[in-house]
């Protein structure tokens, strides 16, 4: 008789996506995400509305994941959930649900750091050897992480102010594009000239980042143009701004590979869905002889498969949690 497979339910609710996934021995059986259109009218995520939407989505999303995976709740071995970082009200919905279900089923809980989850997106269908460097770029974080195993990692550098995703989203807002702006800027940039305009690059020591200056210079740049000029040149403006962000991200990532001697490199997080950044990673791979891992689009933006995957490896190492652990809005990796 073979060993019984390990079935993990993953739950993600850190921001404005309610997500559930089921893994069987580290392979995805189901991966469900419910977005929250309610924020579009406000041009950004409204925390109170996000919590309420999670509250109404969580039960149907988990039920759908179980149904798609074709398993009964009683077959689950453990529940992995996002403990933080994120919006407190949103985290409380996912963590309370996970805790109740774990009590009801009598199975362990696995608290997962959301940033660890993003890194675990590389374990879904890529096989980058350890150690590797991960540039995690999301709406709230920008980090260069040295990853030594499925569960051991260390932050080498991070943003001192805004995240790369925020830099995209704020520029989109200045241009009057709908929220979330990152994908909109990326779309316009695809048919623009990235050398049309230049934006000054920040100077930050070591492997840290800063994006607030870039965002401000974008604001002043756009203010100097007439509404007509902005409309006419929006493709070139987006392409040039996207290039500036990518240049900043890559400069430190390249430095990190040189300082550590590690040439296995991945990108993760929502901004890793950016077409320009994905192409640049491919170009650097060719130029520098890197081994590169770029997760599929659906595993870059927030999802529960990555949380379940991080949880699966923690579970294998016996790193489970308890009912006492509280959700954490700020949670260091
Ligand atoms: O990882 P994620 O889904 O949520 C957080 O953990 O924050 O990242 C969301 C961020 C947003 O800032 C969004 O605009 C950005 O990722 N994003 C993009 C693209 N797709 C999502 N930014 C640039 N280009 C994209 N294609
Ligand atoms: Zn995220």
pLDDT attached to residue 201: 87
CA nearest neighbour of 95 among 7, 34, 8, 12: 12
Closest ligand by atom to 165 CA: 1
Distance in Å, CA 26 to ligand 2 centroid:
20
Q: Is the CB of 117 under 6 A from ligand 1?
A: no
The reported pLDDT for the residue numbered 200 is 86
- Bond from prior residue into 59 cis (ω within 30 degrees of 0): no
CA–centroid distance, 166 to ligand 1, in Å, is 8
Dist CA 331 CA 333 (whole Å): 7
176 and 149 Cβ atoms separated by less than 8 Å: no
Q: Which of 116, 139, 267 to mutate to test the pocket of ligand 1 (most atoms within 8 A of CB)?
A: 139
Report pLDDT for 59: 98
Position in ligand 1 atom list of the atom nearest CA 164: 12
Token pair 């995703």 is found at: 165
Asked if 145 and 114 count as a contact pair (C-beta separation under 8 A), the reply is no
**Distance (Å, whole) CA 117 – CA 99:** 19
Residue 293: strand pairing partners: 266
The Cα–Cα gap between 124 and 23 comes to 10
Distance, CA of 59 to chain centre: 23
Q: Is 266 in the pocket of ligand 1 (CB under 6 A)?
A: no
For ligand 1, atom 2, which residue shows the shortest CA distance? 270
295 touches ligand 1 (CB under 6 Å): no
Q: Give the Å distance between the CA of 20 and the centre of ligand 1.
A: 19
Pocket lining: 268 vs ligand 1, CB cutoff 6 Å: no
Ligand 1 within 6 A of CB of 270: yes
Closest CA to 95 of 255, 328, 280: 328
186 CA closest ligand 1 atom index? 24
pLDDT tens by residue, the chain, 333 residues: 568 999 999 999 999 999 999 999 999 999 999 998 888 888 889 999 999 999 999 999 999 999 999 999 999 999 999 999 999 999 999 999 999 999 999 999 999 999 999 999 999 998 899 999 999 999 999 999 999 999 999 999 999 999 999 999 999 999 999 988 999 999 999 999 999 999 988 889 999 999 999 999 999 999 999 999 999 999 999 999 999 999 999 999 999 999 999 999 999 999 999 999 999 999 999 999 999 999 999 999 999 999 999 999 999 999 999 999 999 999 999
- Check if 276 has its Cβ closer than 6 Å to any atom of ligand 1: no
- Distance between Cα 122 and ligand 1 center (Å): 17
Query: Residue 179 has what pLDDT?
Result: 87
Nearest Cα to Cα of residue 157 among 211, 209, 204: 209
Residue nearest to atom 3 of ligand 1 (CA): 301
pLDDT value of position 60: 98
Q: How many CA atoms lie within 13 A of 244 on its CB side?
A: 25
Residue of 15, 37, 19 whose CA lies nearest to 89: 15
- Atom 16 in ligand 1: residue holding the nearest Cα: 270
Residue 169 Cβ < 6 Å to ligand 1:
yes
CB-CB contact of 173 with 43 (8 Å): yes
């Amino acid at each position: 008789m073979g060993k019984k497979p390990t079935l993990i339910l993953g739950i993600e609710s850190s921001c404005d996506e309610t997500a559930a996934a089921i893994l069987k021995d580290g392979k995805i059986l189901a991966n469900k995400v419910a977005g929250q259109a309610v924020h579009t009218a406000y041009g950004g995520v409204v925390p109170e509305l996000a919590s309420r939407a999670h509250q109404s989505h969580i039960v149907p999303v988990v039920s759908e994941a179980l149904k798609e995976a074709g398993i009964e709740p009683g077959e689950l071995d453990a529940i992995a959930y996002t403990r933080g970082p994120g919006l407190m009200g949103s985290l409380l919905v996912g963590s309370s649900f996970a805790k109740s279900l774990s009590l009801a089923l009598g199975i362990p809980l696995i608290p997962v750091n959301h940033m660890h989850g993003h890194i675990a997106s590389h374990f879904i269908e890529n096989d980058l050897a350890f150690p590797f460097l991960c540039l995690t770029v999301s709406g709230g974080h920008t980090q260069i992480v040295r990853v030594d195993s499925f569960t051991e990692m260390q932050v080498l550098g991070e943003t001192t102010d805004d995240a790369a995703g925020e830099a995209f989203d704020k520029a989109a807002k200045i241009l009057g594009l709908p929220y979330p702006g990152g994908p909109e800027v990326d779309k316009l940039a695809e048919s623009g000239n990235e050398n049309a305009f230049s934006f000054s690059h920040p100077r930050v020591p070591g492997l840290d980042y800063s994006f607030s200056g870039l965002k401000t210079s974008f604001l002043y740049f756009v203010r100097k143009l007439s509404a007509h000029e902005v409309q006419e040149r929006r493709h070139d403006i987006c392409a040039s701004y996207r290039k500036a962000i990518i240049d900043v991200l890559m400069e430190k990532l390249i430095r990190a590979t040189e300082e550590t001697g590690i040439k296995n490199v991945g990108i993760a997080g929502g901004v890793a869905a950016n077409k320009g950044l994905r192409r640049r990673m491919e170009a650097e791979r060719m130029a520098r002889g890197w081994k590169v891992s770029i997760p599929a689009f659906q595993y870059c933006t927030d999802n529960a498969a990555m949380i379940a995957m991080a949880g699966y490896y923690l579970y294998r190492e016996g790193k489970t949690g308890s009912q006492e652990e509280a959700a954490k809005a700020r949670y260091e990796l």
